[in-house]
Amino acid sequence: MRFGAAYYPEHWPVERWELDARMMREAGFNTVRMAEFAWTRLEPSQGEFDFDWLDEVVGLLGSNGVRTLMCTPTAAPPGWVVKDSPEMLPFFEDGRMVNFGGRRHYCPTQPRFRDHVERIVGAMGRHYAEDPDVIAWQIDNEFGCHQDYCYCESCQLAFQVWLQSQYESLDELNSAWGTDFWSEVFTSWDEIPAPRFTSTAHNPSLQLAWRRFYTDVWTNFYTFQADILRESGVTVPITTNLMGLYPGIDYYTHAEALDFVTWDNYPVSFPVPADNYTSALNCDLMRSVKDGAPYWVVEQQSGAPGWQSIFGRTGPGYIRLMTYLTVAHGGEGVLYFRWRSCRFGVEQYWHGILQHDGRPNWRYQEVAQVGKEFAALPADLFSARTPAQVALLFSHDQQWAHQIQPHVNGFSYLGEQLPAYQALRDAGVDVDLVNEESDLSKYRILIAPVWELIPSDMAEQVIEFVRQGGTLALTFRSAVKDWDNVIFEEPLPGPLRELLGITVDDYDAIGSQNITAGLQFSGKLPVTGNPGGTLWADVITSEGAEVAATFTDGWYVGRPAITVNHFGIGQAWYIGTHLEGEFWTPFVNYLLAQQHLPASLQRSAGVDIAHRQGERLYTFVLNMKPEAGWIEIPEMCTDLLTGERLMPGRTMLEPYGVRILA
């Protein structure tokens, strides 16, 4: 288990370093992240390097048992680099150039900038390749942050080259994208534009291809640096820090290039639980993009975050609770951001563990308590896997397609994922996120809201999944388009029509007029209350599917709104409108019961449950509320945090309290 913080020794007097090292050791730290934005300190002019100060602090910390996650500092190129190579400055799609003076003022495809990167990364790699205190490397920082993509000439050219690797010919591309629309047929590769500002919009197929291209650009920029480190003799693991639900990069694809996943976690809502669901979804995604492998959080919120203004809060108990949430969902490392609040620069109000004054404070005490607890937990807990039997399809390609064309005012991809995910969390089951390339065979249930794009080889896999007994639940706008973002020519839901046993003849974007469509449930589902559909209403004809609910409003009154098709030995559900928890909670519980998945522990509201399967099954119990809670213990077990033996029956939880049962 790696435990520690981001540390910027260059921000503090040399005389302070020793005290910092001692305080870290006393808090149970074994890891710090360093050098992240220290390029000018390390290379004050071209080819002149200064590693002395960093050697000193790496050694000082190492002698205190604190090892270093070393960073390449390329996210903040120095002024002298920009002066030398101004063509490296990136452009927004509307033509605005990003100037020097913040960070990330570079285009990742610019050759002259990459020359500078090669020099500094190579020098660092060679210098620290043999250093036993350097246990891993982070490349750059938060690709895509502040600006998803650059739209300069270099990027447009790279896009044209990349497309040649994706399509056999220009004819194939023209055909796949439907460029006959608005006379956009390309007669030469160099006519294809980056999606820069127009007075209308670019072809949705091109827009989707651009996002896929840029995932490859960022991955390529990562690999470019990782290769330099390897060539310099670096042998320890290499990574870069991801950003959870950040939508600019397909992290499933990107993570393939990383040795392990690290990410930055800012669950800024205090007091919880304003939205702890999103926090957990972040964790589940970061675990799932690398096939369930444990991750490190390299920036775990330890104070109120803010740039110009502070937009979050903290308070006693919050940091510890969120740290355990991070671990419960698959973490094997937690580094807080940051050790100490910075006195200058843009992040003066992005608070660290210590305040600007550097005195030990309540946050330091809380972190030190966690350090002590971690040291006492069994080692296998941190590398244990999440035993999920339910999968939620969460795909960046889908998210992009929905961003490009959000269908109706108020619609968003996350807004369609969350009601299902929240119902699953409330049911206490573990959830893996999957995308179109994932292996579905290990799951019993797959929920795939607004699964719009169906790659040609995916339909067969999902059909087989149901045939073999799996439960599938799709919602409106599923199976509408092919992988190039083009609508199927066959009736909807395209290649899943037989599986679902329905045809979607038409639809009504009721969200455009903020209309709620009433539903009549057949009695099959244990839905009480009277949930109504919003945003969208599909006009469905059943071709064999059982009708679980019909519309009671609109010109399609009486027509199916929710259907289930019995296919093979499984079930395929289709939900033709947007619904919230009033539907999703009973629906999810129904599906779980149908698949005979175990019911979770009984507990008070606001208590979150997650499991990790190591040598034993570890059950994390997190009370998200500022009041006491309880949980019903089914059989005698141990609370690993306190060593307490818990007897069957009701056990109390403190406000923001955590128990780990084994």
Report 43-62 residues binding a second copy (CB under 8 A): 44-45
Binders of a second copy in range 110-169 (CB under 8 A) = 146-147
Near a second copy by CB under 8 A, which window of 98-106, 254-262, 449-457, 633-641? 98-106
Q: Are 446 and 465 in contact (CB under 8 A)?
A: yes
Q: Can you state the angle between helices 204-231 and 111-128, rounded to 10 degrees? A: 40
**Binding residues among 527-566 for a second copy as defined by CB under 8 A:** 554-555
Could you tell me the two tokens for 65? 């048992």
Of the candidate spans 101-109, 161-169, 562-570, 595-603, the one that interacts with a second copy by CB under 8 A turns out to be 101-109
Catalytic residue among 299, 332, 436, 452: 299
* Catalytic residue of the set 36, 142, 366, 452: 142
Count of residues that interact with a second copy, criterion CB under 8 A: 113
Binding range to a second copy, per CB under 8 A, among 194-202, 285-293, 560-568, 641-649:
194-202
Catalogue the E-assigned strands of 480-585: 502-508, 519-521, 534-542, 546-551, 560-567, 570-575, 577-578
Alpha helix positions (H), 192-262? 204-231, 251-255
Catalytic residue at 299?
yes
CB of 255 to a second copy, least distance (A): 24
Q: Which of residues 196-215 bind a second copy (CB under 8 A)?
A: 196-206
Going from the C-alpha of 144 to that of each of 166, 219, 227, 405, 505, the distances in angstroms are 23, 11, 21, 21, 40
Rounded-to-integer distance, Cα 207 and Cα 422, Å: 31
The minimum distance between CB 489 and a second copy, in angstroms, equals: 6
Report the site for a second copy in 382-441 (rule: CB under 8 A). 404-409, 411
Q: Are 477 and 407 in contact (CB under 8 A)?
A: yes
Residue 37 or residue 590: which is nearer to a second copy going by CB?
Answer: 37
Q: What's 628's DSSP letter?
A: -
Q: Give the DSSP H/E element, type plus range, for residue 622.
A: strand 617-623
Exactly one of 135, 310, 597, 662 binds a second copy (CB under 8 A); that residue is 310
Shortest Å distance, C-beta 139 to a second copy? 16
C-beta of residue 429 within 8 angstroms of C-beta of residue 591? no
In order, the DSSP letters of 470-485 are -EEEEESS-S-B-TTS
Instruction: Tell me which residue of 51, 65, 37 sits closest to 133, measured CA to CA.
Output: 65
The distance of closest approach from Cβ of residue 508 to a second copy in the complex, given in angstroms and rounded to an integer, is: 6
Q: Smaller CB distance to a second copy: residue 123 or 185?
A: 185
The footprint of a second copy on residues 173-192 (CB under 8 A) is 177-188, 190-192
Residue number with CB closer to a second copy (146 or 650): 146
Least distance (Å) between residue 522 CB and a second copy: 25
Site string for a second copy, 336-375 (x = CB under 8 A): -----xxxxxxxxx-----xxxxx-xx-------------
CB 422, min distance to a second copy, A: 21
The tokens of 510 are what?
């009721």
Choice from 3, 7, 8, 382 touching a second copy (CB under 8 A): 8
Active site residue 142: yes
CB-based contacts of 52, cutoff 8 Å, min separation 6: none
- 155 pairs with which residues across the strands? none
Contact mark string toward a second copy, 435..474, x via CB under 8 A: ----------------------------------------
Q: Beta partners for 628?
A: none
230-269 residues near a second copy, rule: CB under 8 A: none
- 195 near a second copy (CB under 8 A): yes
Q: Which of 23, 3, 15, 9 is nearest to 55 (CA)?
A: 9
**Locus of tokens 């003849």:** 505
Q: What CA–CA distance (Å, rounded) separates 496 from 572?
A: 10
Question: Is residue 155 a contact partner of residue 217, using CB atoms and an 8 Å limit?
Answer: yes
Show contacts with a second copy in window 488-507 (CB under 8 A). 488-492, 505-506
| CA 151-211-442 angle, 5° bins | 160
Is residue 513 a contact residue for a second copy (CB under 8 A)? Answer: yes
| Contacting residue, 10, 118, 543, 546, with a second copy by CB under 8 A | 10
CA distances (Å), 322 to each of 28, 300, 402, 576, in order? 18, 9, 31, 36
Sign of CA dihedral 495, 592, 507, 206: negative
Q: Of residues 4, 28, 78, 560, which one binds a second copy by CB under 8 A?
A: 78
Measured from the CB atom, is 8 or 574 closer to a second copy?
8
Nearer to a second copy, 73 or 532 (CB): 73
| Interface with a second copy (CB under 8 A), residue from 25, 26, 40, 581 | 40
Identity of the residue numbered 510: I
Residue placing its CB nearer to a second copy in the complex, 90 or 333: 90
Contact between 73 and a second copy by CB under 8 A: the answer reads: yes
Q: Which residues are catalytic?
A: 142, 299
